[in-house]
């Protein structure tokens, strides 16, 4: 049976493919976005280099009707939707650990004292090793509330990020034009200060002190976190993006004037001072900030 031009046009159509396919005549792979003949009846595709058959317009008798240019009948390839970045919930992992420890303590006391367990729980306090997790979670939540208000000023945030293959986490990561800021939130009592020992005849040693408590280990922990973020950025092709570490003490006894300092490359400050640091001008464009934010969200999932 001879196929008329009108019938051929109804059976097939030259178009730009939305998805990759395989030519039903020669078996060649056809990439998405390539122009090819779509055969409606069999729902198959055929590359334009192959000879036509009864269903293809190549076998149709010549038509005097005007031919519509391919550009007008080609269908656009839909752009892929950008992935949604999960910012995370500040303090969620610390609060879960507090609840786990608290529930375990309650179960242990009730099992040991079936009759008096409720009374014992009511008149005794939880150990400091348990309440420290709740206090830490609250500190992260308070800091996040302030940081989130900077979203309209070009700061992209990630909260409570899990470090793969470990039980540790990063409290906050902020990406801004000035670079990536790795932030550890602390809710300690007392005034943070920098203590310098040694000097002329002994090696100079800097120590972080909060009140009467020596907390230099926090600086060492921050170096580990910034090192992991640095490695993730290098692996993603962002070796030129600077990484900064910050210890932010929430509700500490800061002086009215001054007070912030840097110890071994790590900034020690309070929430408002941290906000000023994050919105400072830098070399990264808005596109750079968005791309780095997405790369870090993939490297460090929400905890």
Per the structure, how many domains does the chain have? 2
Flag whether 221 is in a domain.
yes
Tens digits of pLDDT across the chain (303 residues): 555 545 544 567 777 766 677 788 877 777 766 778 877 777 787 888 776 543 434 434 444 444 444 343 344 544 455 677 888 999 999 999 999 999 999 999 999 999 999 999 999 999 999 999 999 999 999 999 999 999 989 999 999 999 998 989 999 999 999 999 999 999 999 999 999 988 778 888 999 999 999 999 999 999 999 999 999 999 999 999 999 999 999 989 999 888 999 999 999 999 999 999 999 999 999 999 999 999 999 999 999
Which of 13, 37, 59 delimits the end of a domain? Answer: 59
Give the pLDDT score at 10.
55
Question: What backbone torsions phi and psi does residue 229 show, to the nearest 5 degrees?
Answer: -65, -40
Whether 70 is in a domain gets the answer no
153 and 288 within one domain: yes
What residue numbers bound the domain in which 40 lies?
Answer: 5-59
Residue 45 confidence (pLDDT): 78
pLDDT of res. 65: 46
Please tell me whether residues 158 and 252 are part of one structural domain.
yes
Domain boundary among 23, 44, 59: 59
List, in order, residues 6 or more apart from 191 with CB less than 8 Å away.
Answer: 210, 211, 252, 253, 254, 255, 259
Domain assignment present for 135: no
Do 271 and 146 meet the contact criterion of CB atoms below 8 Å apart?
yes
Residues 169 and 287 in one domain: yes
Question: Do 295 and 158 lie in a common domain?
Answer: yes
118 inside domain: no
Sole residue written with tokens 């800091």: 143
| Among candidate residues 29, 59, 89, the one where a domain is terminated | 59
Residue 131 within any structural domain of the chain? no
């Amino acid at each position: 049976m001879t196929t008329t031009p009108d019938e051929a046009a109804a059976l097939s159509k030259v178009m730009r493919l939305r998805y990759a396919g395989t030519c039903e005549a020669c078996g060649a792979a056809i990439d998405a976005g390539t122009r090819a003949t779509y055969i409606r009846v069999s729902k198959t595709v055929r590359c334009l280099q192959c000879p036509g058959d009864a269903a293809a317009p190549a076998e149709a008798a010549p038509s005097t009707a005007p031919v519509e240019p391919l550009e007008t009948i080609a269908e656009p390839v839909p752009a892929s939707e950008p992935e949604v970045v999960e910012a995370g919930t500040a303090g969620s992992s610390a609060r879960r650990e507090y609840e786990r420890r608290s529930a375990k303590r309650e179960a242990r006391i009730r099992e040991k004292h079936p009759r008096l367990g409720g009374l014992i729980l009511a008149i005794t306090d939880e150990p400091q090793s348990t309440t420290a997790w709740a206090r830490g979670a609250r500190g992260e939540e308070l800091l996040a509330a302030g940081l989130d208000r900077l979203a309209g000023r070009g700061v992209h945030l990630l909260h409570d990020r899990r470090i793969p293959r470990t039980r540790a986490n990063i409290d906050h990561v902020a990406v801004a034009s000035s670079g990536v800021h790795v932030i550890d939130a602390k809710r300690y009592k007392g005034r943070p200060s920098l203590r310098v020992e040694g000097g002329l005849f002994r090696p100079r040693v800097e120590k972080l002190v909060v009140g009467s408590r020596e907390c230099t280990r926090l600086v060492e922990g921050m170096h580990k976190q910034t090192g992991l973020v640095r490695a993730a950025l290098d692996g993603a092709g962002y070796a030129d993006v600077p990484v900064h570490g910050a210890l932010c003490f929430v509700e500490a006894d800061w002086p009215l004037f001054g007070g912030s300092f840097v110890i071994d490359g790590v900034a020690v400050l309070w929430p408002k001072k941290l906000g000023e640091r994050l919105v400072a001008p830098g070399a990264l464009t808005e596109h750079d900030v968005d791309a780095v934010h997405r790369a870090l969200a993939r490297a460090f999932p929400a905890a």
